[in-house]
Structure 1
Amino acid sequence: MLTGKHVVFLGGDARQLEVIKRFIELDAQVSLVGFDNLQTPLSGTMQREWNTTVLEKADILILPIVGTDDQGNVASVFCSDNLTLTRKHMQALPKGSLIFTGMARPYLTQLCAEFDIHLFELLDRNDVAIYNSIPTVEGALMMAIQHTDITLHHANCVVLGLGRVGLSLARVLHAIGAKVSVGVRCPDDIARVFEMGLIPFQIKQLEQHVSHADIIFNTVPALVVQTSAINKMQHDVLIMDLATKPGGVDFKAAEKRGIKALLCPSLPGIVAPKTAGKILAQAITTLIDEVMIKEGLEA
């Protein structure tokens, strides 16, 4: 239980609603900022204006999965007002308070370090990223079906990267009968792709593996699908970039050739916000438990 703990939610999307519900269940005092346009108000919460006062007695601040941008702006689909996390806001937080977000840009990281605030990036946790790969893969398959006129079964699919999302995606595509090639960088991943019964290749050799591709899925957060490779693709190929913005695809080069290229960030929040929110809620409460246990031992 989190009785007596003051938790402030600043912005976010439908995923945050599941996290909020979990904190209500745990008897926390919950303040909401940037949730003015909720169709159904959440009982057990307080709508608050965005100012330093709301943070002065906060134990926990929960930001959206994308955190802030480089200027401290925070996005919320439930509010039309601009929300910006500034130095004054951070200074108002009690020392030792906790901030949770999916990922943090240097702006947020530096402010937390300056004001002695504990920052937790949920997507850095391997368990969260693996759980999150499930709705990501389902969303990728849904969009691939919507944007092609072929079946995924027997389609020539190229997956770039064998991280948490790439591994899950390659496995599912193979299971539904697609012909799957996987572009990787290290020898260990080459061996793993081979062991899975798929076709491995070095990403630097991408140009040699795209001429017959029907769908290319990129999961690498660096520019790997460049003009040289795009020029060797079929005109009706579909490129789907699942990596963090700005992605790993030269979208201008794709547009110039008339190739459909889609940037698909935050798929869990779009296709399965309830499941994605429960994943985040479990991770946050687990981390809070760990912090509380540690504080108890140190005391």
Structure 2
Amino acid sequence: MMLTGMHVAVIGGDARQLEVIRKLTELDAKLSLIGFDQLAHSFTGATKTSIDEIDVSDLDAIILPVHGTGLDGKVNTIFSNEPIFITEELLLQTPKHCTVYTGISNSYLDELMEATQRKYVQLFERDDVAIYNSIPTAEGTIMIVIQHTDFTIHGSRVAVLGLGRVGMTVARTFAALGAKVKVGARRSEHLARISEMGFEPFQLQDIEKAVQDIDICINTIPTMIVTASVISKMPAHTLIVDLASKPGGTDFRYAEKRGIKALLAPGLPGVVAPKTAGQILANVLSQLLLNDLTKRKEKK
């Protein structure tokens, strides 16, 4: 299956979007690149243009960067200095079948999609994207831990908070490097799975007791979980790495006051492995676009 005849606008972004562009041009999609005027590389079948020049009435899909837009509708791009805004007026000119893809959303985008009634896909909400992304996230966490400790991961005592899509991969990766891993969760089935995987399970309500003997604490839970009270029970040399989306789940102010190193590290795939992170998005996006095209052809 190819994307021949499908018109897609790729608007702004970073190095990850280049992998998306490469994949979609291979599939013969017609691409309009907005916010790429400083990109030296050119892609066959892709046209650099501006938001004012593109014929949006012909668009089948719009691909926004991983971070979507700001709360003012502005799209960030590392390949242009020209300001780009996604507005209600712009989207209302697109065909009703036009689908908007973004990594994550915010209140501005949510309200915009509601007002324009356009189909809307948040890629980072998808299990497949999150699970694939957990691999570079785990590798990036290893990098951070090595940089900020004076002891080996092998033999160290690691507490992972949360057994979600990221927590599971991180726990397994650190255990494979020889760490003694304990994992905190709330749900009974997660605690059972932690035990089955060979890790030490603990209830998150018992976190203060669980952190008393650890060297590294890795948080994946996007709510305040590593509180001042929890940090006060940790050994002074403990390193906290918070992988949750901003503002994280750690009391960074208290950690600094106590002299415990605590690092907020969201978005690691795009930092440590932009090519792989881009390929993950490209593969999922191309499949979603192919599915869309197939459905539209079947309706005709």
TM-score by length of 1: 0.94
How many angstroms apart in 2 are the aligned matches of 1:37 and 1:214?
Answer: 45
Alpha-carbon contact 2:3-2:293 (below 8 Å) kept? no
Decide whether aligned partners of structure 1 residues 256 and 55 sit closer, same or farther in structure 2, where only a CA change above 3 A counts: farther
Alpha-carbon contact 2:25-2:43 (below 8 Å) kept? no
Alpha-carbon contact 1:31-1:47 (below 8 Å) kept? yes
Alpha-carbon contact 2:218-2:243 (below 8 Å) kept? yes
2:35 is the alignment partner of 1:40: no
Alpha-carbon contact 1:224-1:248 (below 8 Å) kept? yes
How many angstroms apart in 2 are the aligned matches of 1:80 and 1:150?
Answer: 44
Decide whether aligned partners of structure 1 residues 124 and 216 sit closer, same or farther in structure 2, where only a CA change above 3 A counts: same
Report the Cα offset of residue 39 of structure 1. 4.1
The one-letter code matched in structure 2 to 1:192 is R
How many angstroms apart in 2 are the aligned matches of 1:10 and 1:23?
Answer: 14
User: 2:288 maps to which residue?
Assistant: 287
How many angstroms apart in 2 are the aligned matches of 1:49 and 1:267?
Answer: 30
Decide whether aligned partners of structure 1 residues 260 and 42 sit closer, same or farther in structure 2, where only a CA change above 3 A counts: farther
User: 2:7 maps to which residue?
Assistant: 6
Report the Cα offset of residue 15 of structure 1. 0.9
Alpha-carbon contact 1:14-1:274 (below 8 Å) kept? yes
What count of residue pairs does the alignment treat as equivalent?
299
How many angstroms apart in 2 are the aligned matches of 1:43 and 1:122?
Answer: 26
| 283-292 or 37-46: bigger deviation | 37-46
How many angstroms apart in 2 are the aligned matches of 1:289 and 1:99?
Answer: 14
Structure 1: 4+ residue segments shifted above 6 A: none
Report the Cα offset of residue 91 of structure 1. 2.1
Alpha-carbon contact 1:11-1:64 (below 8 Å) kept? yes
Q: Deviations over 1:244-283 (max 9, x none)?
A: 1221111112122222111111111111111111111111
User: 1:165 maps to which residue?
Assistant: 166
User: 1:71 maps to which residue?
Assistant: 72
Alpha-carbon contact 2:72-2:108 (below 8 Å) kept? yes
Q: Deviations over 1:208-258 (max 9, x none)?
A: 122222111111111111111112222321111111122111111212222
Q: Deviations over 1:171-211 (max 9, x none)?
A: 11111110111111111111111111111111222111222
Report the Cα offset of residue 21 of structure 1. 0.5
User: 1:175 maps to which residue?
Assistant: 176
Report the Cα offset of residue 52 of structure 1. 7.3
SS at match of 2:25: helix
Listed as ranges, the gaps of 5+ residues in structure 1 are none
User: 1:23 maps to which residue?
Assistant: 24
How many angstroms apart in 1 are the aligned matches of 2:44 and 2:73?
Answer: 29
How many angstroms apart in 2 are the aligned matches of 1:43 and 1:291?
Answer: 23
User: 2:152 maps to which residue?
Assistant: 151
Alpha-carbon contact 1:159-1:219 (below 8 Å) kept? yes
Listed as ranges, the gaps of 5+ residues in structure 2 are none
The one-letter code matched in structure 2 to 1:16 is Q
How many angstroms apart in 2 are the aligned matches of 1:245 and 1:77?
Answer: 21
How many angstroms apart in 2 are the aligned matches of 1:266 and 1:43?
Answer: 30
Alpha-carbon contact 2:32-2:54 (below 8 Å) kept? no
How many angstroms apart in 2 are the aligned matches of 1:233 and 1:131?
Answer: 32
Decide whether aligned partners of structure 1 residues 73 and 252 sit closer, same or farther in structure 2, where only a CA change above 3 A counts: farther
SS at match of 1:47: strand
| 245-254 or 164-173: bigger deviation | 245-254
The one-letter code matched in structure 2 to 1:142 is M
| 5-14 or 156-165: bigger deviation | 5-14
Report the Cα offset of residue 166 of structure 1. 0.3
SS at match of 1:4: coil
User: 2:201 maps to which residue?
Assistant: 200
How many angstroms apart in 2 are the aligned matches of 1:291 and 1:43?
Answer: 23
2:152 is the alignment partner of 1:131: no
User: 2:222 maps to which residue?
Assistant: 221
How many angstroms apart in 1 are the aligned matches of 2:263 and 2:81?
Answer: 26
